[in-house]
Structure 1
């Protein structure tokens, strides 16, 4: 999910649910080579830094196979593990469409790949971000359940006019989440694991805050869409993340959030569980 503007009607050639054929045979040799370059750079760097569940997903889904994955083959393997599939879309889709697919265990992925001069940053998610970043954890049964629960919650959030609050939960977990395992911090958010620079920044740089996950706190917190995050939230396990989501009655939570002020991206509250108090040096240098 993102605040990037999304069209509200399917473009020409897309079905009513916004899906399109992947047209795997149309990828060029150069596009497959770019995927391989991105894959090798990220996969080699992530070992020891990403949650083991992500690496297990890469392995069981055979994503290390050269070239951009064929969504039909990938979905066949994924369905056997957790019932999820990957469907191609032409780009960003409306929120209700996004949630409907997730609630039915369909992950939407762009079918285009970035250009060589966009290797380090791309505003709109491409097939590398969507498939390499998101799909490996969909092979994990607990995280797969969380993603479906989020989709179902997203559909309900539209009735309360609270999409902006729920979007923050997606941003700080699915896209930019950290997890503490055996005393160490690991990456799991797709926005981090698909970014070479942020994979280092999120774990190693002294600049960002690293705070213990709290559902209400996360849903009050603004985020950056144009640069590295100033705060990362750390979950204790995928099971705990799923349980908090399932155990929460979001209707009164949304009502309470309407009475509370939003929090800036660098804010630390007295009630926060602070794992690392960031210097915010990176953000301040960029601002100046």
Structure 2
């Protein structure tokens, strides 16, 4: 979940938005977008939730070059009433939640360098727009994102931002869904990554567990590498239903009495699609001299 605590840059409006300045992108920058788009477009069919591919078509994101937010927003507003707003980087939690609650998705306007094709620490416009925005053309997922924003505003008052951040991480960023042909991806962190698309679905290393709201909120996550556990939802409708029907205040209170779970833990009560070997994480930890990933 994007968050930041620094002082608002002088060029940003009070809500932290800035002009996209689409005309300032170089040919090389448009080329990086086109390369990433082509690579993921070849990889995703059959692996990604159909709603994602439908969103690509609705929003015409296959048009060459970095999308112009003005054009993109005209189509997105028609579809679900959402819009994309440019920001200078990561934004404070309160700003992030306010934008989501009002059906605005914040996106960085910079794009990675050619030597950062496969990994970038801070989310760029390809991650934010290609990864996130197609599902905002889906009415059910669009409503879930707005519900999440409103929930975030309440979580701040209840001191539960970290709990809710885990929900965002394991759904919006790194979520899996049960499709007619088996497990599929929908989280933006996976969808926008060539290597994690393959890892999340087929590698024997990570756990793939059935989604449970309280379980997810207890579970720590990796911010520096592939996930060691992915949670699988049954449908976007069920995800939205749980977010709207759950009274989060008593859930947060109940979780305060529970210990956090590790990134690779599997409980007897979990619905297990696949119990991971954790071979990837263990091998990496061994190379780095730490045997406890």
**Normalised by the shorter chain, which TM-score bucket?**
over 0.9
Distance 2:107 2:242 in 1: 27
- Equivalence for 2:256: 258
Dislocated runs of 4+, deviation >4 Å: none
Matched, 1:164 2:173: no
- Does structure 1 residue 149 correspond to structure 2 residue 147? yes
Query: Matched residues in 1 for 2:36 and 2:259: separation?
Result: 40
Structure 2 residues without counterparts, runs of 5 or longer: 287-293
Q: Distance in 2 between matches of 1:8 and 1:206?
A: 40
Structure 2 counterpart SS, 1:36: helix
- TM-score, L = length of structure 1: 0.98
8 Å Cα contact 1:211-1:233 kept in structure 2? yes
Report the equivalent of 1:276.
274
Aligned position for 2:80: 82
How many residues align? The count is 286
Partner SS, residue 201 of structure 1: helix
| Normalised TM-score (structure 2) | 0.97
Q: Is the 8 A contact 1:177 1:234 kept in 2?
A: yes
Aligned equivalents of 1:220 and 1:240: distance in 2? 20
1:287 to 275, 285, 288: 285
Paired residues of 2:111 and 2:126 also in contact (CA < 8 A): yes
Corresponding residue of 1:202:
200
- Superimposed CA distance per residue, residues 97-128 of structure 1 (whole angstroms, 9 cap, x where no aligned partner): 00000000000000000011110010100000
Alignment check: 8 A CA contact 1:2 1:225 kept: no
Q: For residues 8 and 158 of structure 1, what CA distance do their matches in structure 2 show? A: 18
| Secondary structure, counterpart of 1:54 in structure 2 | helix
8 Å CA contact retained: 1:168, 1:218: yes
Q: Which of 184, 189, 193 is the aligned partner of 1:191?
A: 189
**Aligned-residue RMSD, C-alpha:** 0.8
TM-superposed deviation, 1:2:
4.7
Return 5+ residue gaps in structure 1 as ranges. Answer: none
